[in-house]
Amino acid sequence: MPQFEIANFLPQLAWLGICFVLLYFVVVRATLPKLGKVMQARDDKVTGDLASAEAAKADADRTTEAYLVELHKAQEAARAALAASRSDAQGAIEARLAAADAKMEAHLADAQQRLDGARDRALAEVETIAADAAASIVERLAGTRPAEAAAAAAARAALAR
């Protein structure tokens, strides 16, 4: 085999070195800058993505905080509106109750007037009936009918006791 001959060994070693150096510089000069650019681009992209992710997270945190603040304000407004509605409803109920009480008082006063009138009429009739009964009793016992005014006065005096 020719590659194992010692006479050919030194020139083969020189050509190996020359080819190695040529391939090394071709690879280093041609490939490594491109590889370095790709790696730098990927590093820049990752760094940019991390920065944009941090900015997005900060923006999301601010948005969440603003949302929670607005939610709290809305809840407070709803509570205030509910309290106002309850107060308005309570006022309306109290007004209706006052109106109903006034109406009932008016009915009660009217009923009391009617009752007083009926009682007065009944008492007047009782007086008339008592006077007539007393006059009839006196007429049966004494044989003469007393005067109507005297019988009414006697009945009134007896009922007043």
Residue 5: helix, strand or coil by DSSP? coil
The b-or-e profile of 85-95 (16+ CB within 10 A means b, else e) is eeeeeeeeeee
124 near 107, Cβ under 8 Å?
Answer: no
Instruction: Report how far residue 3's alpha carbon sits from residue 11's, in angstroms, rounded to the nearest whole number.
Output: 10
Residue 87 has pLDDT above 80, yes or no: yes
Would you place residue 106 in the very low, low, confident or very high pLDDT band (cuts 50, 70, 90)? very high
Q: What is the pTM of this model?
A: 0.44
Answer for the pair 130, 151: CB distance below 8 angstroms, yes or no.
Answer: no
Can you give 108-120 as a three-state secondary structure string?
HHHHHHHHHHHHH
Instruction: Tell me what the mean pLDDT of segment 20-26 comes to.
Output: 89
Per DSSP, the three-state class of 144 is coil
Is-contact 128 153, C-beta < 8 A?
Answer: no
Alpha helices in the chain (DSSP H): 6-26, 32-142, 148-160
Mean pLDDT over 12-30 rounds to: 89
**Residue 2 confidence (pLDDT):** 64
Greater confidence, 3 or 152?
152
N residues, the chain: 161
The type of residue at 81 is: A
Q: Which of 10-14, 58-62, 102-106, 113-117 has the lowest mean pLDDT?
A: 10-14
